């Protein structure tokens, strides 16, 4: 019986290889090319950069040293509290926090006014130091070492071990808090939140400028460099994030900054202050046109500063966002906004640190970086495994690999209120991190290469010759087997 072999002349891999060779020859581009690193846009959609503070006005990664004047909002710190007062109270939570900002631990019937992640450091406190937690809010203490809790005979007090009621130093409440609700640790993961804050701070610093400071006539940009005593006027776009980046040297030379119009929730003002040394002693610049109406939508970002000292008498309208910095506030003026810092030193024996007013940041920060060009790699070429029997007299040149123009990728949203650090069932432990994903730009555009008749027919002949040679070789091999 005769067996018939209905086998294709060319195997699929061979057919694909020949097709690729033909396309490459006719188009003038390599048949096998590596993907180039292409320019791309980095969208930065942070949302509210303060998100994660659980509504606390002052949010401190490590220790807080408090002397004067007061914090009208609430305070949370991940480290130890040191009382540095020399007479009179340092007040916390002078105003009861609004419901949407209040931090209420399950089982409590009152919001927390002061949260201490560590202990009260009595050894480094002054003998006259008193912190009063007001508005009938509660205190939380992560580590009771060295502290007695006095819960009878009047409002709750914390004193050094062996201390009596109303002795100094002390932390006192204006209400009776159940003693067994005071010592609670791990309510907030400060390390996780501040990792996020540092990433957000750098992301905002990378945003391109959209605000041009001008002179009083509103049309002439300020000279570069501007001299000492310069007055800057800012005009804002209320529909998108406004970014103004200055160096600490430039900021120090300004005598006045005036807003011509107010920022908004969708058009907040981010002022990036760049610091080439990490140390900035700022005699706070006089601000005009800011006020309490602007404060919730202004953020002062210090991405590089590790030691920030405030002095003078002018108030800062807006949030002080310095997640890597030790903030020493010796400024008689107030801070009207959140305070996001690594360590807080609020006033001392000789300096009045002013007040911290509860103007929580409410702006939505969303900007887009300019395209960046990543290094390109050379396109590898295919080396034939067998030497062709005929060598063309001319070797066609390979045009450069195509490039593309980046188009903005869909905005990626960084975690905001919906992904907050949790704390034992309370609002918030970070379940995800704000990693920023990049991808190359869209499809490669046509190369634009054209094939002239002079190049077409030799190329076609070369491909056809290869097909015939390879086909004949396969036919002979099969003939031998049968």
pLDDT of residue 52: 98
Which residues face 293 on adjacent strands? none
Question: Is the per-residue pLDDT at 328 higher than 90?
Answer: yes
Band of residue 80 on the pLDDT scale cut at 50, 70, 90: very high
| 380: pLDDT strictly greater than 80 | no
Q: Which two tokens stand for residue 223?
A: 């000279």
State residue 397's pLDDT score.
47
Mean pLDDT of the chain: 79
Q: How much is the pLDDT for 27?
A: 43
pLDDT of residue 466: 52
Q: What is the pLDDT of residue 21?
A: 39
pLDDT of residue 385: 47
The rounded percent of the chain whose pLDDT value lies above 90 is: 64
What's the confidence (pLDDT) of residue 373?
52
Q: Looking at 41-55, 298-312, 468-482, which range is the least confident one?
A: 468-482
- 2 vs 322: which has the higher pLDDT: 322
State which of 327-331, 370-374, 392-396, 454-458 shows the largest mean pLDDT.
Answer: 327-331
The region of weakest confidence among 219-233, 248-262, 296-310, 387-401 is 387-401
Of 51-55, 372-376, 470-474, highest mean pLDDT? 51-55
Exposed / middle / buried, residue 86 (Cβ in 10 Å: 0-12, 13-18, 19+): middle
The closest alpha carbon to 171, from 109, 108, 121, belongs to 121
Model confidence band, residue 456 (pLDDT cutoffs 50, 70, 90): very low
pLDDT above 50 (res 333): yes
pLDDT of residue 356: 98
Query: What are 148-167's pLDDT values in tens digits?
Result: 999 988 999 999 999 999 99
Q: What is the pLDDT of residue 42?
A: 56
256 phi, psi to nearest 5 deg: -160, 140
Instruction: State mean pLDDT over 113-122.
Output: 98
Q: Are strands 43-47 and 70-71 parallel, antiparallel or unpaired?
A: unpaired
Neighbours of 294 (CB within 10 A): 23
The reported pLDDT for the residue numbered 337 is 98
What's residue 199's pLDDT?
97
The better pLDDT of the pair 193, 14 is held by: 193
The pLDDT confidence band at residue 45, using thresholds 50, 70 and 90, is confident
Under 8 Å between Cβ of 58 and 97 = no
State the pLDDT at residue 8: 39
pLDDT value at 211 more than 70: yes
HEC string of the chain equals: CCCCCCCCCCCHHHHHHHHHHHHHHHHCCCCCCCCCCCCECCEEEEECCCCCCCCCCEEECCCEEECCCEECCCEEECCCEEECCCCCCEEECCCCCCCCCCCCCCCCCCCEEEEECCCECCCCCCCCCEEEECCCCEEEECCCCCEEEECCCCCCEEEECCCCCCCCCEEEECCCCCHHHCECCCCCCHHHHHHHHHHHHHHHHCCCCCCCCECCCCCCECCCCCCCCEEEEECCCCCCCEEEEEEHHHHHHEEEEEECCCCCCCCCEEEEEECCCCEEEEECCEEECCHHHHHHHEEEECCCCCEEEEECCCCEECEEEEEEEEEEECCCCCEECCEEEEEEEECCCCCCCCEEECCCCCCCEEEECCCECCCCCCCCCCCCCCCCCCCCCCCCCCCCCCCCCCCCCCCCECCCCCCCCCECCECCCCCCCCCCCCCCCCCCCCCCCCCCHHHHHHHHHHHHHHHHHHHHHHHHHHHHHC
Residue 76 is predicted with a pLDDT of 98
Q: Is the pLDDT of residue 414 over 60?
A: no
Q: What would the pLDDT profile of 175-208 be if each residue is shown by its tens digit?
A: 999 999 999 999 999 999 999 999 999 999 999 9
Is the pLDDT at 465 greater than 70, yes or no? Answer: no
Report pLDDT for 436: 36
Q: How far is CA 413 from CA 66, 119, 364, 410, in A?
A: 36, 36, 11, 10
Stated pTM of the model: 0.71
Long-range contacts for 211-215 (Cβ within 8 Å, ≥24 apart)?
A: 211/235, 211/236, 211/242, 211/243, 211/244, 211/269, 213/244
């Amino acid at each position: 019986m005769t067996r018939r072999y209905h086998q294709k002349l060319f195997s699929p891999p061979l057919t694909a290889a020949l097709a690729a060779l033909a396309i490459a020859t006719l188009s003038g581009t390599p048949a096998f090319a590596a993907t180039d690193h292409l320019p791309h846009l980095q969208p930065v959609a942070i949302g509210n950069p303060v998100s994660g503070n659980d509504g606390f006005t002052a949010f401190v990664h490590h220790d807080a040293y408090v002397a004067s004047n007061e914090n009208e909002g609430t305070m949370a710190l991940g480290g130890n509290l040191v009382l540095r007062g020399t007479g009179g109270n340092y007040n916390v939570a002078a105003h009861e926090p609004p419901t949407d900002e209040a931090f209420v631990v399950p089982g409590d019937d009152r919001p927390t006014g002061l949260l201490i992640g560590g202990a009260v450091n009595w050894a480094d406190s002054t003998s006259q130091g008193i912190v009063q937690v007001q508005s009938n809010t509660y205190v939380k203490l992560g580590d009771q070492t060295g502290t007695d809790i006095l819960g009878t005979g009047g409002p709750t007090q914390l004193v050094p071990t062996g201390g009596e009621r109303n002795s100094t130093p002390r932390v006192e409440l204006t209400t009776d808090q159940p003693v067994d609700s005071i010592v609670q640790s791990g309510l907030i993961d400060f390390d996780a939140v501040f990792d996020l804050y540092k990433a957000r701070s750098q992301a905002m610093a990378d945003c391109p400028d959209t605000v041009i400071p001008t002179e009083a006539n509103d049309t002439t940009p300020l000279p570069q460099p501007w001299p000492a005593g310069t007055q800057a006027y800012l005009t804002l776009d209320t529909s998108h994030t406004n970014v103004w980046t200055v160096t600490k040297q430039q900021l120090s030379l300004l005598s006045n900054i005036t807003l011509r119009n107010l920022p908004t929730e969708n058009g907040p003002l981010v002022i990036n202050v760049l610091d080439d040394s990490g140390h900035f002693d700022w005699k706070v610049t006089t601000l005009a046109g800011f006020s309490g109406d602007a404060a919730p939508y202004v953020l002062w970002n210090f991405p590089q500063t590790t030691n920030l000292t405030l002095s003078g008498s002018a108030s800062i309208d807006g949030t002080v966002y310095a997640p890597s910095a030790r903030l020493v506030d010796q400024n008689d003026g107030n801070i009207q906004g959140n305070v996001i810092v690594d360590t807080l030193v609020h006033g001392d024996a000789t300096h009045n640190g002013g007040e911290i007013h509860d103007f929580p940041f409410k702006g939505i920060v969303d900007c887009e970086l300019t395209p960046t060009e990543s290094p390109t790699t050379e396109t590898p070429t295919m080396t034939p495994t067998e030497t062709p029997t005929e060598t063309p007299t001319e070797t066609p040149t390979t045009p450069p690999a195509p490039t593309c123009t980046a188009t903005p990728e869909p905005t990626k949203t960084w975690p905001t209120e919906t992904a907050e650090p949790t704390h034992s069932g309370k609002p918030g432990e970070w379940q995800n991190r704000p990693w920023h994903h990049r991808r190359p730009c869209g499809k490669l555009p046509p190369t634009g290469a054209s094939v002239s008749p002079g190049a077409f027919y030799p190329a076609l002949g070369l491909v056809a010759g290869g097909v015939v040679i390879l086909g004949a070789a396969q036919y002979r091999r099969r003939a031998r087997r049968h």
